[in-house]
Amino acid sequence: MAVAIANFPKLSVHSRHFYRNPSLTVNNDRYFAEHPLLLMVDRCTKSSQLKQIHAQLLRIGLFFDPYSSSKLFSALAISPMSDLDYAQKMFDEIPQPNLYTWNTLIRAYASSDDDPVRSLFVFLRMLHECPDLPNKFTFPFVIKAASDVVDDAKLGRGIHGMVVKLELADDLFILNSLIRFYSACGYLDLAYRVFMSIHDKDVVSWNSMLNAYVQGGCPEMALELYQAMEGEDVRPNEVTMVGVVSACSKTRNLELGRVMHSHIRKNRIKSNLTLRNAILDMYMKCASVEDARKLFDEMERKM
């Protein structure tokens, strides 16, 4: 094998038996996960090593086993060593990608800053080529991609309709994604409708709707929602408090802003740089220079 792979430990006698007899791995499922080449995938530190494993899997015929191809493909598509262009070419080599592999490619493009729209194209292609229907792991990334590339609620409603048709309308991750999509498009009424349809809201649900109101120019409604959140005994986190403090800033409510700042300290809510900057901004916009200066002096890290 090439130099990068040569640095891995030598194969045992048992492993060499696998390597010289690829038919054993191809014809017997119990061998797939144990094959030394697949074990190497988790130990790679560079995409070049993964590419070398790809070449070896092709040479011995193991790449066409669904487990083997999906494991290697995931590493090249969504790991810190990802090479999305190469992963796409690899995907096109797989005769019949399974649903997991389709979902992985959709996720990879949706998470990419360069070309999230390709996630939607892959989704449309999947609908035509994959024998399996989309599942709960498909839609959150499809919806994310849609929110990044369009501001038209028609697309969201179309995807939402598919979710309902496939009986996935109770999935919390999908519904939270729809809240963010509708709010990003400026349809706060649709976002709120989805929010209210969730039976067991988690903190992400509340945060998504609260921040939708803040960013949508309805800070008073954000503060009302925060009160309702407290009434439901949902523990806020730093994302919640960024939204609440920002709402105080937009309404110029210094008194409530100070209460929220004290609440953050008393409850030891994780105060990251984003939250501290939000509090600082609130004090400045509320014309409390003394509070702003005191907080600024306390900040170990400043931007």
Check if the beta carbon of residue 122 is closer than 8 Å to that of residue 142.
Answer: no
Domain co-membership, 49 together with 120: no
Cα dihedral across residues 200, 204, 209, 213: positive or negative: positive
Q: State whether 81 and 110 are in the same domain.
A: no
Report residue 68 as tokens: 């083997």
Say whether both 134 and 88 belong to one domain.
no
Residue 140 and residue 80 share a domain: no
Q: Which of 179, 198, 217 is the last residue of a domain?
A: 198
Q: Domain count for the chain, please give it.
A: 3
State how far the Cα of 231 lies from the Cα of 220, in Å rounded to an integer: 17
Q: What is the pTM of this model?
A: 0.82
The reply to whether 78 and 106 lie within a common domain is no
* Cα gap 152→147, rounded to integer Å: 9
pLDDT (0 to 100) of residue 75: 94
Angle 252-256-262 from CA coordinates, rounded to 5°: 130
Q: Which of 49, 61, 48 is nearest to 18 (CA)?
A: 61
Please report the pLDDT score of residue 19 as a whole number. 39
pLDDT of amino acid 297: 86
Residues 258, 186, single domain; the answer is: no
Distance in angstroms (rounded) separating the CA atoms of residues 126 and 49: 29
209-212 long-range contacts, CB within 8 A, separation 24+: 209/179, 209/183, 210/240, 210/243, 210/244, 210/247, 211/183, 211/239, 211/242, 211/243, 212/179, 212/180, 212/182, 212/183, 212/188
Whether residue 63 contacts residue 93, with contact meaning beta carbons closer than 8 Å, is answered with yes
Please tell me whether residues 105 and 129 are part of one structural domain: yes
pLDDT at residue 114, rounded to an integer: 73
Domain termination site, one of 54, 70, 95: 95
Q: What per-residue confidence (pLDDT) applies to 302?
A: 54
Q: What is the CATH number of the domain that holds 299?
A: 1.25.40
pLDDT at 275: 95
pLDDT of the residue at 34? 67
Do 294 and 224 share a structural domain? Answer: yes
Which residue from 76, 132, 79, 58 is spatially nearest to 102, judged by alpha carbons? 132
Q: Domain boundary residue among 53, 72, 95? A: 95
Q: Are residues 136 and 176 in the same domain?
A: yes
Other CB atoms within a 10 A radius of the CB of residue 276 amount to 23
Domain that holds residue 142: 96-198
Say if residue 80 is in the same domain as residue 104.
no
pLDDT digits (tens, 9 = 90+) for 246-291: 999 999 999 999 999 999 999 889 888 999 999 999 999 999 999 8
Per-residue pLDDT of the chain (303 residues; tens, 9 = 90+): 443 444 443 433 344 344 344 433 344 444 456 688 888 998 999 999 999 999 999 998 888 888 889 999 999 999 998 899 999 999 999 988 999 999 999 999 999 877 788 999 999 999 999 999 999 999 999 999 998 876 677 888 899 999 999 999 999 999 999 999 999 999 999 999 999 999 999 999 999 999 999 999 999 999 999 999 999 999 999 999 999 999 999 999 999 999 999 999 998 898 889 999 999 999 999 999 998 999 988 877 655
